[in-house]
Structure 1
Amino acid sequence: MTTLLHIDSSPLYEQSVSRQLTATFVTHWKSSHPGGTVVERDLSATAIAPLSAEWVAAVFTPEDARSPQQNELLSLSDSLIAELENADEYVVGVPMHNFGAPSVLKLWIDQITRVGKTFSYADGTPKGLLVGKKATFIIATGGVYDAQTQMASFNFVEPYLRSLFGFLGVTDATFLTAGGTMALNHGQDRNAFLAPHLEVVQTHALAV
C-alpha cells in the first residue's frame, strides 16, 4: 500500500494558494492510488520549538544513554522523521516568505535533519537515508521568480529545498510554482488565476 505524506505550511488556510493546490494534488493522487493512505501534517498547527542546546545534546547522546528528559525533547523529532520514513511520497505546500521558506517549515526541517536518522557520515562522506522517496513541492510566490526573469536571483525557496532534500536522499523531486499570487490582492479573479496551476497539479498527481 502506498502512503503519501501531505505537508502544508501556509498560515492563510482557506485563502492559501499553496494549500488549495496541495489539496487538489491529494484528491487526484487518491483517485490514481486506490487503497493508498494519506498522512496529514499541518505545520501551522504543530507546535515546534526552535533548536536548543539541550536538544542538540540529546541528539548526540547515544540512544541507550539518554535520560527521560532527553527522550521527551526528541519525541516530536522522532515522530516527524517516522512520518517521512513510513511514506513513499511527499507533497509539500510552500508559500514564499521574504524570498525564502516560511519559518514553520524551517523549524520542521531542523527537527527532521538528524545525523544517524535522515543522513549519515558513516563512511566519512554525507549520505542521505531517505532513499526511494518521491517529493512534490508546490510553491506559491507573490511575485514572479522564474528563471530568466529580473527577480530570479531572489528565489531561495527551490534551490534550498532541492539541496536540502537531495542531501537527505530525496533526489526524485518535482517543483511546481504558482507565481504572481500578489495579483489576487489587486482584483485578479482567483479561479482564472488558479486554473492553469490546478491543471498542472492534477496532471502531475495522476502521473506519480
Structure 2
Amino acid sequence: MSTILHIDSSARPDSSDRSRHGSHTRRLTARFVARWRAARPRDEIRHRDVGQSPPSPVTGRWIQAAFTKPERREPWMTQVLSESDVLVDELLAADLIVTGVPMYNFNVPAQFKAYIDNIVRVGRTFGFDRARQGDPYWPLLAEHGKKLVILTSRGDYGYGKGERLEAMNHVEPSIRTAFGYIGITDVASVAIEYDEFADERLRASIARAELEVDALVDRLLAARPDMR
C-alpha cells in the first residue's frame, strides 16, 4: 500500500466541472485521485485543503521555537510548532504528494506559501550545522523516494518553458525550489491555461490537461512497481 497526500490550495471551494466559478486545480486533483483510487483502491489518500483551512503563517515565535533544539524547547515552543508538526508528519508519511496550486498574481496562493513555510523545517525536513564543511544546509528527505505532482491553472497563456511569459511564472519554479531544498526532486506538472479568456481555448486546455493527468497517473503506476 502507498500513501497519497492530496493538497488543494485554491480559494475557490468548488470544482470547475461542477460550478461555473469553480476551481480548475480542484478539478484536476480530483481527477488524479479518482483515477488513482480506481487502480489502487487499498491505498491511503489523505486530503489537506489549505485553500479553505490555511495553515497559520510563520511568526517570530515560530522561528525562535523551530531553531531551538527540541530538548531545550519550552512548552510554549512545542505548542507554537504543533500545527507544523502535523503537516510535516503528513508529508513524511506520504509516498506521493499531489498538489493543486493555481497561479495568483504570478505566484502561488498565500495559503500554499504558508504551507511551504510550515513544512520546510530545520531538523525535520532539512538539516543545518554551522560547523559543517561546505554547505551548512542539507535535505533530509532526499533518500525517501517521494514524488511530487503539481497541478496548476493560469488566467493567461504561455507560461511554459521557452514560452512568452516563462519569466513571469513563479508557481512551478518556486514549488520545485522549496521541495527540492528538502530533498523532493522527482516532480511532474500539468497546467490549464486561458482561464481569463473563457472561450474555446480554455475548453481545449482543460481537455488537454485532463488527458495529461490521466497519462501521468498511468505512467506513475507503470514506472513504480511499489505503486501498482
TM-score per shorter chain, which class?
over 0.9
Query: Which secondary structure does the structure 2 equivalent of 1:40 belong to?
Result: strand
User: Does 2:172 align with 1:165?
Assistant: no
Match among 97, 100, 110 for residue 103 of structure 1:
110
Query: Which secondary structure does the structure 2 equivalent of 1:199 belong to?
Result: helix
Structure 2 counterparts to residues 12-31 of structure 1, below 5 A? 12-14=12-14, 15-31=22-38
Structure 2 counterparts to residues 124-139 of structure 1, below 5 A? 124=133, 125=135, 126-130=137-141, 131-139=144-152
8 Å Cα contact 2:195/2:202 also seen in 1: no
Equivalence for 1:147: 161
Query: Which secondary structure does the structure 1 equivalent of 2:161 belong to?
Result: coil
Match among 69, 72, 81 for residue 79 of structure 2:
72
Q: Which runs of 5+ in 1 are unaligned?
A: none
Amino acid at match of 2:156: G
Q: Distance in 2 between the 1:191 and 1:179 partners? A: 9
Query: Which secondary structure does the structure 1 equivalent of 2:51 belong to?
Result: helix
Query: Which secondary structure does the structure 2 equivalent of 1:31 belong to?
Result: helix
Q: Deviations over 1:143-162 (max 9, x none)?
A: 11123322221111111111
TM-superposed deviation, 1:188: 4.4
8 Å Cα contact 1:32/1:206 also seen in 2: no
TM-score (norm: length of structure 1): 0.92
8 Å Cα contact 1:165/1:171 also seen in 2: yes
Equivalence for 1:51: 58
User: Does 2:217 align with 1:205?
Assistant: yes
TM-superposed deviation, 1:205: 1.4
Q: Kindly report structure 1 stretches of 4+ aligned residues shifted beyond 4 Å.
A: 187-193
TM-score (norm: length of structure 2): 0.85
**Larger relative contact order (Cα-Cα within 8 Å, sequence gap ≥ 6):** 1
Query: Which secondary structure does the structure 2 equivalent of 1:19 belong to?
Result: helix
- The structure with more helix, counted as a fraction of residues: 1
Amino acid at match of 2:107: G
Matched length: 206
TM-superposed deviation, 1:63: 1.3
User: Does 2:206 align with 1:177?
Assistant: no
TM-superposed deviation, 1:196: 1.5
Moved more, 52-61 or 141-150: 141-150
Equivalence for 1:90: 97
TM-superposed deviation, 1:129: 1.6
8 Å Cα contact 1:96/1:140 also seen in 2: yes
8 Å Cα contact 1:133/1:172 also seen in 2: yes
- Structure 1 vs Structure 2: percent identity of aligned residues? 35
Q: Deviations over 1:110-133 (max 9, x none)?
A: 111111111113544332122310
Q: Distance in 2 between the 1:30 and 1:117 partners? A: 30
- Please report the RMSD computed on the Cα atoms of aligned residues, expressed in angstroms: 1.7
Distance 1:121 1:67, change over 3 A: closer
Equivalence for 2:2: 2
Query: Which secondary structure does the structure 2 equivalent of 1:182 belong to?
Result: coil
